[in-house]
Amino acid sequence: MRRHPLRLLITAGPTREPIDPVRFLSNYSTGVLGHTLVAEAQRRGHAVLFITGPTGSPPPRGVKTVAVETALQMQAALERAFPAVDAVIMAAAVADFRPARAAAQKIKRSGVAGGLKLWRLELVENPDLVAGLATRRTRQVIMGFALETSRALANARAKLRTKQLDAIVLTQMRGPRAPFGDTTVDGAIVKSSGAVQPFRRLAKPALARRILDTVERLVAQRGKTSSAA
């Protein structure tokens, strides 16, 4: 099949939210699926802009990569790139909260809570990056991810709706830390049309192919509706 090359924005990895110069809040995201998506998109001839939080992987070759640390930095990079792309694949595990203040100096054990051995860290909510993009889309197809531990499909559907996404990739927790770094994943691709495509023990390269098939189809459908309009 001859493919129409697309301009894709792919995000991956966790964000890090600084507490002080030596500590941060983050999550277990490894960025593996994001890197796999970039490789598959390159293989298909798409132009990719890759925005990534800190992961153990070196930046992919031959792809414009923007390395960020915090959710707010990721938001700035996304907003710059968003107007020029056909689709966004938001695989990053963005931290929902950040410390209200990042201390300029290392927080000392002796300075915490006057001997009570209790440290209250104040957090503020980060913006929902993908939902923010969705409110400003012109023609862009927007795909998000939902990592769930319970009521998986219902939660994924709710995120699809409230974030106004075109599709969402549900991935389910299997073990205590799965699917972070796992080679296979369970879940489903859910489209805003209501269609659900479940998968079980799917290897990440195969999942990347399904995700890109879905994005390509959604972009093609959008093209048809906007030229018909």
Q: Which residue, 20 or 96, is less far from ligand CTP as judged by CB?
A: 96
Min. distance of Cβ 49 from ligand CTP in angstroms?
Answer: 16
Min. distance of Cβ 11 from ligand CTP in angstroms?
Answer: 7
* Residue type, position 192, single letter: S
Residue with tokens 């795909």: 143
Whole-number Å distance between alpha carbons of 195 and 85: 25
Catalytic site residue from 7, 18, 26, 27: 27
Q: Which residue, 37 or 90, is less far from ligand CTP as judged by CB?
A: 90
Whole-number Å distance between alpha carbons of 167 and 159: 10
Min. distance of Cβ 62 from ligand CTP in angstroms?
Answer: 24
Q: Which residue, 19 or 130, is less far from ligand CTP as judged by CB?
A: 130
Whole-number Å distance between alpha carbons of 31 and 106: 28
Q: What angle do CA 42, 132, 210 make, to 5 degrees?
A: 35
**Does 155 participate in catalysis according to the annotation?**
no
Positions in the binding site for ligand CTP (CB under 6 A)? 71, 90, 92, 94, 96, 126, 128-130, 144-147, 159
Whole-number Å distance between alpha carbons of 87 and 146: 18
176-207 core/surface letters (b: 16 or more CB in 10 A; e: else): eebbbebeebbbbbbbeeeeeeebeebebeeb
Min. distance of Cβ 79 from ligand CTP in angstroms?
Answer: 12
Q: Which residue, 92 or 219, is less far from ligand CTP as judged by CB?
A: 92
Residue 217 DSSP SS3: helix
Residues serving a catalytic function are 27
